[in-house]
C-alpha cells in the first residue's frame, strides 16, 4: 500500500508505487469514461454527480500521497486538487468524443469537489515516522 513518508524522507520505491497506483487509477477512470453506455438502473437526475465525486476523491488522495512520498513539502494539497481537477476536465473533453456520452461542466465541478474532498482526507492522514 502506498503510505506517506515522514516529511524529511523520500523513499523512491514507495514513491514509484504511489505514482503507479495513481496512474492505474487514472487509467481506470479513462476506461470507464470510454464506455459508450452502462447498463445501470435509471438513476435520479443529477445523481451521477455523486459518482463523479466518489471517483475523484480516491484520485486526489492517491495524488496527494504520491506527491508527499516523492518529497514535495509545499502546496501538496492544492497540487493534488489541481492535477485531479485538470484530469477531470480532460476526461470531460474526452467524453465529448465518445458516442453516447457528453461533456458537462457540472460533471467537471463534481470532479473538482471530489478532488478537494480527497485531498482533505489525505491531509488528515498522519505521515508515518
**The predicted structure's pLDDT at residue 53:** 97
Give the model confidence (pLDDT) of 28-37 as tens digits: 999 999 987 6
40 has pLDDT over 80: no
1 has pLDDT over 60: no
**The predicted structure's pLDDT at residue 48:** 86
Give the number of other CB atoms < 10 A from CB of residue 77.
17
Q: Is 4 contained in some domain?
A: no
Contacts of 91-97 with C-beta under 8 Å, sequence gap 24+, read 91/29, 91/30, 91/33, 94/30, 94/33, 94/34, 95/33
Q: Is 110 contained in some domain?
A: yes
Q: Domain count of the chain?
A: 1
**Structural domain that includes position 57:** 12-36+46-123
Give the model confidence (pLDDT) of 52-61 as tens digits: 999 999 999 9
Amino acid at each position: 500500500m502506498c503510505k506517506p513518508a515522514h516529511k524529511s524522507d523520500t523513499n523512491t520505491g514507495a514513491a514509484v508505487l504511489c505514482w503507479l497506483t495513481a496512474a492505474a487509477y487514472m487509467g481506470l477512470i479513462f476506461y470507464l469514461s470510454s464506455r459508450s453506455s452502462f447498463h445501470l438502473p435509471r438513476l435520479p437526475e443529477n445523481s451521477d454527480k455523486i459518482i463523479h465525486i466518489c471517483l475523484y476523491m480516491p484520485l486526489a488522495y492517491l495524488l496527494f500521497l504520491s506527491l508527499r512520498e516523492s518529497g514535495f513539502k509545499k502546496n501538496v494539497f492544492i497540487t493534488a486538487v489541481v492535477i485531479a481537477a485538470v484530469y477531470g476536465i480532460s476526461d470531460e473533453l474526452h467524453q465529448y468524443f465518445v458516442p453516447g456520452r457528453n461533456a458537462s461542466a457540472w460533471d467537471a465541478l463534481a470532479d473538482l469537489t471530489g478532488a478537494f474532498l480527497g485531498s482533505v482526507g489525505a491531509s488528515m492522514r498522519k505521515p508515518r515516522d
